[in-house]
Structure 1
Amino acid sequence: MKNFLKPVVAAGLMLTASAAPMLAVPAVAQDARGVGVVSLPAVIANSNAYRTAEQQRQTTYQAQISQAEARRQQIEAQLTPLIQQFNTARQAANPDQQALQQQMAQIQQIEQAGQRELQTILAPVSLSRAYVTEQIEDRLDEAVQAAAAKRNVSLILDATSGQVVYAGAQHNLTQDVLTELNTLVPSVQITPPEGWVPREVREQQQAAAQAQQATQQQQPSGR
């Protein structure tokens, strides 16, 4: 089931810090017995482990968060007069288009450099969130299967993929999976081990290594 769940979870979270709302499933006149609907991103984001980790991260990574916020304010203070100057210049009766382009280029350059700088400062925070999410994902299959068994559901549809045409509210397994997940993963570590990289990166590295190995095996050996 992991191959089915992983792309759905990745699409739903995208390193969000806020909890996703529990999804409401539309009621229908006829039950589809044995079919369940679940919102996996909502399960993860509303899990006790994820919420607790979000709170802990504010303390553990307070230095990086404070540094990023201070730097963001500095960048905003630097950009504000430039943006005001640009807006004033372009409202002139005969604005100098070349000068406007240069001003816009300067603004964009500062914005882009600032975003890169903030991403660098917050890199440990982003890595922590990816680590937390992966630990929860590792038990998500088990939680889904346990909830399905308890509700006697043989088919589960993802409520966030757009493939659900209809489902009775009694078949919504989001809360059931959330309950099972909170039991399986009451808490997680927020600080990644030394050298840890997200699952997507590990899979890319593995694929690259396999491709390189295959290429080497296809090359004729010289004598």
Structure 2
Amino acid sequence: MKKIFKPVLAAGLVLTASAPMFSAPVAAQQIAQGVGVVSLPAVVANSNAFKVAEQQRPVTYKAQMDQANARRDQLTAQLGPLYDKFRTDQQANVAQTALQQQAAQIQQIEQAGQRELNQIIQPLAMSRAYVQEQIEDLLDDAVQAAAKKKNVSLILDPSSGVVVYADAKYNITQDVVNELNRLLPSAQLVPPQGWLPREARQQQEAAAAQGAAQGAAPAAAPQPQGR
């Protein structure tokens, strides 16, 4: 959202700078009329694309969810006796070395199980990230369209801690939701093959650029040998 708020804030600063041209009450009224409050997390959560995707995901990825739940139950059954033995031995003042070995075994099983569960539900996480990115790609356009219709030149986001209080009449969150629903009625739930979230793509691009730059660097000139 940076590309929205920079020009919007700039417009607000220009308006504030021109305040001495008017009496204080008139200037304050004009500034207030051009102010809007938008909760961006609420916009995303209340958009049709997000809500429909949340409803479809448990159906589309039911196999993965069932597999993850079954594996979680297996891990719980496997770890239960180990936890019981550890607590019993701990109360019986078993040697610390034996307790440490049991704790290490439990931790190893837990960590391996968590990695396995994360791998099973990875398609769900990728789906959620894919939907989120589709919404984010059009969030700027939705905010700008709503601001234009409401004649707003300064937008504040309460989630950033900027707004302490704002009257309901300045809240254009629903207006932005309406614009986002118009721009993105629904989102694709399943990402295409090989798709990566934006952050991962940026990391890959940065690594590729760095590798290309290192490969293109000229070799150091040989130093003359002294006699």
Letter in 1 for 2:58: Q
2:99 aligns with 100
2:143 aligns with 144
Is 1:32–1:168's contact at 8 Å kept on the other side of the alignment?
A: no
2:112 aligns with 113
**Which protein shows a greater Rg?**
2
Letter in 2 for 1:44: V
Shift of the 136–158 alpha-carbon distance from structure 1 to 2, 3 Å rule, reads same
Distance 2:2 2:65 in 1: 33
Q: Is 2:196 the counterpart of 1:197?
A: yes
Distance 2:135 2:66 in 1: 27
Letter in 1 for 2:70: A
Q: CA RMSD in A?
A: 2.4
2:19 aligns with none
The gaps in structure 1 that reach 5 residues or longer are 6-29
Distance 2:149 2:211 in 1: 46
Moved more, 69-78 or 79-88: 79-88
Q: Under a length normalisation based on structure 1, what TM-score does the superposition of the two structures give? A: 0.79
Q: Under a length normalisation based on structure 2, what TM-score does the superposition of the two structures give? A: 0.78
Distance 1:157 1:219 in 2: 50
Secondary structure of the corresponding residue to residue 113 of structure 1:
helix
Q: Is 2:46 the counterpart of 1:80?
A: no
CA offset at residue 63 of structure 1? Answer: 0.8
CA offset at residue 143 of structure 1? Answer: 0.7
1:41 aligns with 41
Is 2:4–2:140's contact at 8 Å kept on the other side of the alignment?
A: no
Secondary structure of the corresponding residue to residue 160 of structure 2:
coil
Distance 1:99 1:174 in 2: 59
Distance 2:108 2:4 in 1: 41
CA offset at residue 2 of structure 1? Answer: 5.2
The gaps in structure 2 that reach 5 residues or longer are 6-28, 222-227
Moved more, 177-186 or 108-117: 177-186
Letter in 2 for 1:200: E
1:159 aligns with 158
Letter in 2 for 1:167: A
Secondary structure of the corresponding residue to residue 192 of structure 1:
coil
Is 2:86–2:102's contact at 8 Å kept on the other side of the alignment?
A: yes
Give per-residue Cα distances to partners, 1:48-73, cap 9 Å, x unaligned: 11111111111111111111111011
Give per-residue Cα distances to partners, 1:201-223, cap 9 Å, x unaligned: 1111111222222333332488x
1:133 aligns with 132
Distance 1:32 1:91 in 2: 67
Distance 2:2 2:160 in 1: 16
Distance 1:97 1:33 in 2: 70
Distance 2:173 2:131 in 1: 20
Is 2:4–2:144's contact at 8 Å kept on the other side of the alignment?
A: no
Secondary structure of the corresponding residue to residue 159 of structure 2:
coil
| Percent identity over paired residues | 63
